[in-house]
């Protein structure tokens, strides 16, 4: 199985540990974490250098209703073939995969696995 090199972008620090557990439980590596839109944007070149192939992006990072999609677009422009998992409590369609938070958190690692099969 190909391994996910994951960039986790989540402003809810209480959820990060749970998200990590489910992603790493499927054998994937979390290579970068960001807690805000600006931090995520600042780490895009580092993500590219580290070979990130999947980003799990919260839909609302606390700076506005479109900050998650903004980060996703910037990642898609910078990293060829990256898969975006939009992980939001809202119904969204801007990711390659769009599980709902929090009810689909238990399948987050499986969603990463599905996404890398498409890379």
* pLDDT at residue 119 greater than cutoff 80: no
- Tell me what pLDDT residue 88 has: 86
Question: pLDDT digit string (tens) for 5-55?
Answer: 999 999 988 899 999 999 999 999 999 999 999 999 999 999 999 999 999
Residue 18, beta-bridge partner list: none
Peptide bond into 12 cis (omega under 30): no
pTM metric for this prediction: 0.94
Task: Measure the CA–CA gap between 52 and 39, rounded to whole angstroms.
Answer: 16
Q: Which CATH architecture has domain 5-66+78-103?
A: 3-Layer(aba) Sandwich (3.40)
* pLDDT at residue 86 greater than cutoff 60: yes
Where are the domains positioned within the chain?
5-66+78-103
Residues 56 and 108 sit within 8 Å (Cβ to Cβ): yes
The half-sphere exposure of 6 on its side-chain side, counting CA atoms within 13 A, is 31
Residues 86 and 98 sit within 8 Å (Cβ to Cβ): yes
Smallest Cα–Cα separation from 52: which of 76, 79, 70, 34? Answer: 79
Instruction: Spell out the residues 6+ positions from residue 17 whose beta carbon is closer than 8 angstroms to its own.
Output: none
Question: pLDDT digit string (tens) for 59-79?
Answer: 888 877 788 999 999 999 999
DSSP track, 18-59: HHHHHHHHTT-EEEEEESSHHHHHHTHHHHHHTT--EEEEES
- Tell me what pLDDT residue 41 has: 96
- Tell me what pLDDT residue 62 has: 80
* pLDDT band, very low/low/confident/very high, at 97 (cuts 50, 70, 90): very high
- Tell me what pLDDT residue 117 has: 83
């Amino acid at each position: 199985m190909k391994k996910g090199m994951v960039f986790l972008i989540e402003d809810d620090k209480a959820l990060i540990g749970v998200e990590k557990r489910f992603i790493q439980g499927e054998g994937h590596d979390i290579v970068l974490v960001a807690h805000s839109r600006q931090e995520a944007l600042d780490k895009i070149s580092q993500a590219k250098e580290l070979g990130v192939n999947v980003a799990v992006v919260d839909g609302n990072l606390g700076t506005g209703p479109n900050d998650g999609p903004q980060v996703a677009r910037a990642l898609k422009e910078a990293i060829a073939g990256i898969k975006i998992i939009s992980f939001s409590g809202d119904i969204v369609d801007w990711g390659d995969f769009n599980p709902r938070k929090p009810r689909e958190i238990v399948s987050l690692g499986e969603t990463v696995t599905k996404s890398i099969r498409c890379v």
